[in-house]
């Protein structure tokens, strides 16, 4: 089984109520090979919501609100889905502070990127689940 970012499967769960659907992700879900999750929503954040980025050991919205707790909670809940389904691999949305893999927005809300993983990606990797970045 695979875990995929729900926004890649066409769910309008991004901060701006948009999705980033990719057909091969939708096909994986339709074939019963993947489970979509949105860890930001699972942590209790609303949709729409202010965009957030990682700054040091915190996650802050563009208005300075500390949403670290919601990010950590959502990542833990989405991890449960991965463990329950025996997922060994994930396909997650690039650059997101939650789902980004190897590169994420740098915390300046300027569109600039830096090396690093989103909160959910980091947790999956710690549990031995392979993460693939989908742009």
Q: Which residues bind ligand SF4 (CB under 6 A)?
A: 5-7, 13-14, 38-40, 93, 96, 98-99
Least distance in Å: CB of 28 to ligand SF4? 14
Least distance in Å: CB of 133 to ligand SF4? 11
CA distance 133 to 49: 23
C-alpha closest to that of 113 among 135, 91, 90, 89: 135
Least distance in Å: CB of 32 to ligand SF4? 19
Tokens 């957030």 belong to 52
Q: Where are the alpha helices (DSSP H) in 31-118?
A: 39-42, 68-84
φ/ψ of 83, rounded to 5, equals -70, -40
As a dihedral over the C-alpha atoms of residue 83, residue 114, residue 94, residue 14, rounded to 10 degrees, the angle is 90
Q: Toward ligand SF4, which CB reaches closer, 55 or 81?
A: 81
Least distance in Å: CB of 128 to ligand SF4? 20
Q: Toward ligand SF4, which CB reaches closer, 67 or 86?
A: 67
Q: Toward ligand SF4, which CB reaches closer, 40 or 117?
A: 40
Q: Toward ligand SF4, which CB reaches closer, 66 or 75?
A: 75
């Amino acid at each position: 089984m695979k875990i995929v970012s729900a926004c890649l499967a066409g769910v309008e769960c991004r901060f701006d109520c948009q999705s980033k659907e990719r057909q091969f992700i939708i096909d994986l879900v339709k074939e019963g090979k993947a489970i979509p999750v949105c860890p930001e929503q699972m942590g209790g954040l609303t949709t729409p919501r202010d965009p957030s980025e990682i700054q040091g050991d915190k996650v802050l919205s563009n208005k300075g609100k500390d949403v670290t707790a919601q990010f950590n909670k959502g990542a833990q809940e989405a991890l449960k889905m991965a463990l329950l389904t025996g997922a060994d691999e994930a396909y997650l949305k690039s650059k997101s502070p939650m789902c980004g893999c190897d590169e994420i927005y740098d915390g300046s809300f300027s569109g600039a990127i830096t090396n690093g993983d989103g909160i959910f990606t980091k947790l999956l990797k710690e549990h031995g689940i392979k993460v693939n970045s989908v742009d």
